[in-house]
Amino acid sequence: MKVVPLRPKTTRSRRAAPPRTDRDLRARLRTLEADLERAKAKADHPEGLLVTLARFAHAGTRGLSWASLARLQSALYFAWHSEEVDEFGSDRRFTETLQPLFEFLYTVWWRVETAGIEHVPAEGPGLVVVNHSGVLPYDGLMVKLAIRQEHPARRDCRMLALDMFALLPVLAPLLAKSGSVRANPENGERLLEKHELVGVFPEGVKGVGKYFRERYKLARFGRGGFVRIALRTGAPIIPCAVVGAEEIHPMIAKADWIGRPLGFPYFPITPTFPALGPLGLVPLPTKWSIDFADPMDVSSYGPEAAEDPILVNRLSEEVRSVIQRMIDGRLARRRSIWFG
């Protein structure tokens, strides 16, 4: 007769042998404490993207469920977004993620040369007025970066983005999360009242969507809305000229019949786009310069001057001519588009 054991015979357990001495007990306690610390650290700092991806790959399709898919999506999202944004939707982590790319464009690709950065006020409100060009709004990013990197106060300049960019799918959240705000008087005034530095492109679509043959001729400065918000808030106007951005996407024609149905104000045809496909979206490596001029103090006119169209037009024209002069000066000294 065979005796059937009540409990299956266990092979030698891999777990630590029951502690015998005081010293063993102490050692066991230490390992347990270390385990606890590790578990606590893991709970405090949730695992990052790589670990989640690895876990996902390891599980394969066996582990596929709505819950795991949701977890993967959320890990992918929070890998480059933070959980909180400021009141205008600027996301610090998102900006930090894209920063290396922008810095590469700034220092290596376009070798931006900045002059007159000392004219940007170190504190208080300020309205930086910039010429617009280059089909895609890279100039805004570069002006923002110039003030961030070169100014001793490392100020953050909030750019007011045109509707055509601020309402376009993909570009809309991208701009908002990197600190841009949709261009309208309410937003501009609100930012200036909070003593922020604000960047505007009064030329608007007419500037950024210029043909190559019209390069460096400033378009009309809207209806002077930027002067009005400066008058109302008493913020100084700092004219700023970007040279080099006009040549990054030389637009030789516009195909409106493609652009309009898609909601774009224009569909650019450049020597490389759309002929080279997505490769045509790579901007040309021209040499850039960004010049800032003396701030214009408009606070002496008082906020009610914003209702005076003649004064608004005059100031607007004055800013325009300062920028045009800075551009012309740079162009006269420039010997090469690529090397400056």
Partner 1 sequence: MGRIAVTGTSSFLGSRILRRLVDARGADAVVTVDIAAPPAALGGVRHQMLDLTLPGADQRLVDVLQDEEVDTVVHAAFFTSPRRDSSYGHELESIGTLHLVAAAAAAGVRHLVMRSYTAVYGARGQNPNFLTEDRRPDPNPSLGWVRDKLEAEQHALAFAKRYPSMGVTILRFATILGSGLHTFYSRILAKRVVPVVFGYDPLVQLLHPEDALAALEAALAKGPCGIVNVVPRDVLSLLTALHLAEKVTVPVPHPAAYALADLAWTSGIGAAPAGFVDYARFLFVADGEKAKRELGWTASYRSRDALGAYLAYRYPEKADPLHEAEA
Distance of closest approach, residue 104 Cβ to partner 1, in angstroms: 25
* Footprint on residues 37-56 left by partner 1 (CB under 8 A): 43, 46-47
The binding track of 58-77 with respect to partner 1, each residue x by CB under 8 A or -, is --------xx-xxx-xxx-x
Please report whether residue 216 would count as binding partner 1 according to CB under 8 A: no
Please report whether residue 88 would count as binding partner 1 according to CB under 8 A: yes
Bridge partners, residue 254, by sequence: 268
Nearer Cβ to partner 1, position 113 or 163? 163
Cβ contact 199:314 at 8 Å? no
Cβ contact 130:142 at 8 Å? no
Of positions 152, 169, 277, 278, contacts partner 1 by CB under 8 A: 169
Nearer Cβ to partner 1, position 164 or 305? 164
* Footprint on residues 145-164 left by partner 1 (CB under 8 A): 163
Strands (E), 177-315: 181-182, 197-200, 237-243, 253-254, 268-269, 289-292
Taking CA atoms, 312 is separated from 127, 300, 302, in Å, by 15, 14, 12
Nearer Cβ to partner 1, position 181 or 293? 181
Nearer Cβ to partner 1, position 7 or 58? 58
Please report whether residue 22 would count as binding partner 1 according to CB under 8 A: no
Bridge partners, residue 115, by sequence: 291
Bridge partners, residue 198, by sequence: 127, 158
Please report whether residue 98 would count as binding partner 1 according to CB under 8 A: no
Taking the C-alpha atoms of residue 33 and residue 176, their distance in angstroms, rounded to an integer, is 45
Taking the C-alpha atoms of residue 288 and residue 277, their distance in angstroms, rounded to an integer, is 25
Q: How many CB atoms lie within 10 A of CB 224?
A: 23
| Residues lying near partner 1 in the complex (CB under 8 A) | 43, 46-47, 66-67, 69-71, 73-75, 77-78, 81, 83-85, 87-89, 91, 163, 166-173, 176-177, 181-182, 184, 186-187, 190
